[in-house]
């Protein structure tokens, strides 16, 4: 028999009265959250569900997860969640008394005809896709009554732009997103006409940037919630799948794009928003003006230098000279030939180009020399008479970090990245 498990997650965790007063005093808003209940006697699944939710900050609802029918029914006697997820194999007549519109079936296999009137989600897909569908249903049910708590200052906006082509803007943007993701919450938005991301990930994304913009125009105050339904996670940061039709970049007024980006910056939990701009926008300078920092990849090629100079003169002639004050030119080292996406990312992120970008951003993640230093300190503590396993290496790394003055104040997130990324290199 399954043991009793009831997991609460929500606004009461760490949100004291003092915290609320502090947020309000600083001009922040505390907007109401809804409620979500989940019932499944599969403990592994419910734990995975909760772990994912806890990692995704800024969810628009409080959550209660149940693994026993009695506890759920007791909960439902006094409360009615705005959305109730129920595994198909534990659905019962007592639960059916809940408003049918608010019930979603978590289907483990093919959905029985008895559940044909309910919304359904296939439970054994990526948790990312499950949550995307949950949020979509949640938005549909709650309509205009949903908001996300806003408890922070506006995000810093970082723009990646270049007046010349073939200078690796996307690679720069991804390297910056991963680097900054070691210490901050980061959202990457690709506004290129042809991003290549569908092929990079070999994924047919569901909703994308166009869908999010459409939702924003319909309900701007709830857009932060919809954002959770379209974002995906990469190594240390989130991203929005780019639009499919490049004409959407030109057909939507640049002023609307500006309001859209500012809305994300003001109403989401991200510390940094990295935007990669293309050439199709009607006037990208309007968006660049909103960026706190602007990085322009260039090359030493004579023609590209001529184009860069012409762009700078254009900014001076048209009243956009302040953009130059926030602009940093990047001459990123070239990488050797590569034969796969993984090899390319490895060469770019952890080779000379990545080291250069980390230097530009303040060296937030370790460079090659620092890796070698850490590797040497770890090797000194390894018993060379046998091959250590990963868990032993993890413990040694933690010990080295704690005892070394250079690493002692390293953030938890940065430590996690070191463990994940550098263990193979330490073994080598």
| pLDDT range class, residue 118, cuts 50, 70, 90 | confident
The pLDDT value given to residue 339: 64
The pLDDT value given to residue 349: 72
249-307 pLDDT, tens digit per residue, is: 777 888 888 999 998 888 788 899 999 988 777 788 889 999 999 999 888 888 888 98
The pLDDT value given to residue 160: 93
Averaged pLDDT, 147-164: 75
184-219 pLDDT, tens digit per residue, is: 889 999 888 766 665 566 566 677 888 888 888 877
The pLDDT value given to residue 22: 46
pLDDT at 43 over 80: yes
The candidate with the shortest Cα–Cα distance to 239, out of 192, 306, 289, is 192
Highest mean predicted confidence (pLDDT) among 151-155, 321-325, 372-376: 321-325
50-98 pLDDT, tens digit per residue, is: 888 877 766 777 888 898 888 898 888 888 888 899 998 888 888 887 7
Which SS3 state, helix, strand or coil, does residue 282 take? coil
Rounded to whole angstroms, the Cα distance separating 17 from 15 reads 7
The pLDDT value given to residue 16: 35
| pLDDT range class, residue 39, cuts 50, 70, 90 | very high
pLDDT at 101 over 90: no
The candidate with the shortest Cα–Cα distance to 349, out of 327, 371, 329, 328, is 371
Rounded to whole angstroms, the Cα distance separating 376 from 374 reads 5
Rounded to whole angstroms, the Cα distance separating 217 from 221 reads 10
| pLDDT range class, residue 17, cuts 50, 70, 90 | very low
Of 1-10, 379-388, 392-401, the range with the lowest mean pLDDT is: 1-10
Using CA of residue 269, residue 271, residue 273, residue 274, what is the dihedral sign?
negative
Highest mean predicted confidence (pLDDT) among 38-42, 301-305, 372-376: 38-42
pLDDT at 428 over 50: no
The pLDDT value given to residue 408: 53
Rounded to whole angstroms, the Cα distance separating 82 from 86 reads 13
| DSSP state string for 95-161 | HHTS-GGGEEEEESSSPPGGGTTSEEEESSS-HHHHHHHHHHHHHHHHGGG----B-SPPPEEEEE-
What is the overall mean pLDDT for the chain? Answer: 76
Q: How many residues does the chain have?
A: 428
The pLDDT value given to residue 341: 66
Which SS3 state, helix, strand or coil, does residue 87 take? strand
The model's pTM: 0.66
Tokens of 80: 């009615």
């Amino acid at each position: 028999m399954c043991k009793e498990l009831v997991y609460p997650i929500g606004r009461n965790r760490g949100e004291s009265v003092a915290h609320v007063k502090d947020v309000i005093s600083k001009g922040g808003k505390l907007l109401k959250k809804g409620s979500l209940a989940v019932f499944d006697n599969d403990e592994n699944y419910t734990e995975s569900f909760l772990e994912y939710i806890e990692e995704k900050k800024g969810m628009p609802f409080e959550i209660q997860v149940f693994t026993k029918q009695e506890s759920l029914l007791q909960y439902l006697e006094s409360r009615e969640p705005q959305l109730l997820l129920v595994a198909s194999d534990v659905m019962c007549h007592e639960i059916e008394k809940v408003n049918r519109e608010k019930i979603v079936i978590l289907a483990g296999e093919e959905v029985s005809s008895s559940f044909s009137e309910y919304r359904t989600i296939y439970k054994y897909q990526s948790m990312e896709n499950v949550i995307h569908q949950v949020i979509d249903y949640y938005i549909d049910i709650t309509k205009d009554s949903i908001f996300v708590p806003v408890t922070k200052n506006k995000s810093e906006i970082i723009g990646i732009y270049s007046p010349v082509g073939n200078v690796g803007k996307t690679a720069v943007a991804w390297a910056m997103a991963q680097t900054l993701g070691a210490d901050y919450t980061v959202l990457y938005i690709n506004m290129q006409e042809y991003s290549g991301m569908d092929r990079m990930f070999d994924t047919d994304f569901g909703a994308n940037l166009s869908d999010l913009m459409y939702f924003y125009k319909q309900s701007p105050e709830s857009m932060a919630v919809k954002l959770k339904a379209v974002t995906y996670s990469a190594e240390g940061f989130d991203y929005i799948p780019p639009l499919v039709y490049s004409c959407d970049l030109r057909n939507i007024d640049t002023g609307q794009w500006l309001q859209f980006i500012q809305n994300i910056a003001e109403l989401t939990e991200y510390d940094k928003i990295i935007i990669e701009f293309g050439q199709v926008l009607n006037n990208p300078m309007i968006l660049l003006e909103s960026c706190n920092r602007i990085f322009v990849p260039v090359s030493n090629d004579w023609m590209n230098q001529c184009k860069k100079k012409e762009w700078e003169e254009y900014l001076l002639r048209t009243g956009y000279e302040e953009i130059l004050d926030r602009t940093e030119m990047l001459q990123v080292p070239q990488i050797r030939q590569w034969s796969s996406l993984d090899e390319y990312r490895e060469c770019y992120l952890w080779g000379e180009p990545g080291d250069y970008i980390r230097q530009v951003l303040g060296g937030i993640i370790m460079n090659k020399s620092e890796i070698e230093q850490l590797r040497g300190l770890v090797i000194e503590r390894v018993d060379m008479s046998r091959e250590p396993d990963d868990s032993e290496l993890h413990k040694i790394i933690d010990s080295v970090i704690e005892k070394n003055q250079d690493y002692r104040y390293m953030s938890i997130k940065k430590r996690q990245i070191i463990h994940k990324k550098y263990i193979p290199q330490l073994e080598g």
